Structure 1
Amino acid sequence: MTAPPDATPLLECRGLEFARNDERIFGPLDFHLAPGMALQVLGGNGAGKTTLLRVLAGLLATTTGEVRSNGRIVDQGHLLSGSAFLGHLPGHKADLSAMENLQFSSALLGSGRALDQVLTRVGLAGYEDSLARRLSAGQNKRLALARLLLSSARLWLLDEPYANLDLDGIALVNELIGDHVGNGGGVLLTTHGAYAAPPVPIATLELRA
């Protein structure tokens, strides 16, 4: 699926800047993300990649500039209605099983997807009854990816999605991104640059510490 040339950007930033204690973390930045594309944010530790994603998700307020998604200004309610955010932490309950975590997320998001099929898609078939705290770091990342697939959001904000994954897991992330972009979604992902970019139309934005 390709977007028409005049399609409203899924994400648009103008003069975006963020400062903490009067120290600028990044910016000013100007960029946009169209449907059917991905944007890879590069930068070393301390460059502000995670902070940028939290600002884009509406979890942190901008210092200067503006963030728009589908033509409207991002606010603190945006994360629930317009985008799906995958952060460093898994974001699920350690004392619930993989299936119980998905059931909770499915009810919260109103997803109608078959949960056993979602677990199979991310390589966790057979781990339905395993407590999240007994899963490895890589398996917990796969469970977080399963929760991501329950969202209907067109915009994915992925913070270091390859972290803790083996080569098969890295390939899985690339497949999921490819499917999402191919269906007209948009993906903004951060990386230290140690992994190959997903095989989709992609732009890069480099942050420097």
Structure 2
Amino acid sequence: MLEIRSIAAIRGDHLLFEDLSFTVAEGEAVALTGRNGAGKTTLLRMIAGLTPLASGAVLWAGADALADPSAHHARLAYLGHQDAVKPGLTVSENLRHWTGGVRASRDARIQAALEQVDLLDLADIPARMLSAGQKRRLAIGRLCLRQAALWLLDEPVTGLDTASIARFGAMIARHRAEGGMVIAATHQDLPMAEGRSVRLS
């Protein structure tokens, strides 16, 4: 279980939020909502250990999750605003790069990831030729390659069409069915059945 306990965030001299607490159990999904600038991205980065906490704690199974950054990073997958697609690499080479250099660019894991995001037919074209929505799907494909218990998603469906959102919803459902957890910052409805909402004002 992940526990966010009484955390606060400060940007410059501005207090974004304070005394924020919630838990995420295995198989659960939480949508972070709120106005622009409320601190949704900051909260995701704090949970990931990328931005320091102003106060409070992030706990994993009751222990300080941020005490061992390497162990914490190994159990999460972070999908940010930027797709981080390398335009000079092919679609499959991008996924190979994200796995740390798998020898065959079309190995079984990469092929399965491309199938899940419906990019298998485009595996060998340069990523610079992809549309914005296709680049977002390629970025989402990284989630398929990580055995991460916790998915941290920042506006994950931006640029996706209806079919791609439905496909992503199926990915989330499989992840949760296997005991995975999801925290997603969003301004849009996400395909997360029985998900909870935490609003930052």
Counterpart position of 1:134: 129
Query: Residues 58 and 77 of structure 1 are in contact (CA less than 8 Å); yes or no, is this contact kept in structure 2?
Result: no
SS at match of 1:16: strand
Unpaired segments of 5 or more residues in structure 1?
1-8
CA distance in 2, matches of 1:45, 1:78: 31
In structure 2, stretches of 5+ residues that fail to align are none
**Same amino acid, percent of matched pairs:** 38
CA contact (8 A) 1:69 1:82 kept: no
CA distance in 2, matches of 1:50, 1:113: 33
Query: Which of 21, 28, 35 matches 1:30?
Result: 21
Equivalent residue for 2:52, pick from 46, 61, 69: 61
Match of residue 170, structure 1, among 165, 187, 190: 165
Tell me the distance in 2 between the aligned counterparts of 1:124 and 1:84: 20
- Residue pair 1:42, 1:206 contacting (<8 A) in 2 also: yes
Residue equivalent to 1:101: 94
Q: Is residue 105–residue 147 contact of structure 1 (8 Å, CA) maintained in 2?
A: yes
Instruction: Please state whether the residue corresponding to 1:205 is helix, strand or coil.
Output: strand
Other-structure match for 2:41: 50
Letter in 1 for 2:55: T
Give 1:101 shift.
0.9
Output the CA distance in 2 between the equivalents of 1:32 and 1:18.
Answer: 18
**RMSD between aligned alpha carbons?**
1.8
2:149 is matched with 154
Count of residue pairs the alignment pairs up: 195
Deviates more, 1:91-100 or 1:37-46: 91-100
TM-score (norm 2): 0.90
In structure 1, give the amino acid aligned to 2:199: E
For residue 79 of structure 2, what is the aligned residue in structure 1? 86
What is the DSSP-based 3-state SS (H/G/I as helix, E as strand, rest coil) of the residue aligned with 1:51? helix
Could you tell me how far apart the structure 1 residues matched to 2:197 and 2:101 are?
Answer: 33
| Misfit runs of 4+, over 3 Å | 76-79
TM-score, normalised to structure 1, is: 0.87
Alpha carbons of structure 1 residues 113 and 70: separation in structure 2 relative to 1, 3 Å: farther
Residue 112 (structure 2) aligns with: 117
User: CA offset at residue 25 of structure 1?
Assistant: 1.4
- Give the one of 186, 194, 199 matched to 1:201: 194
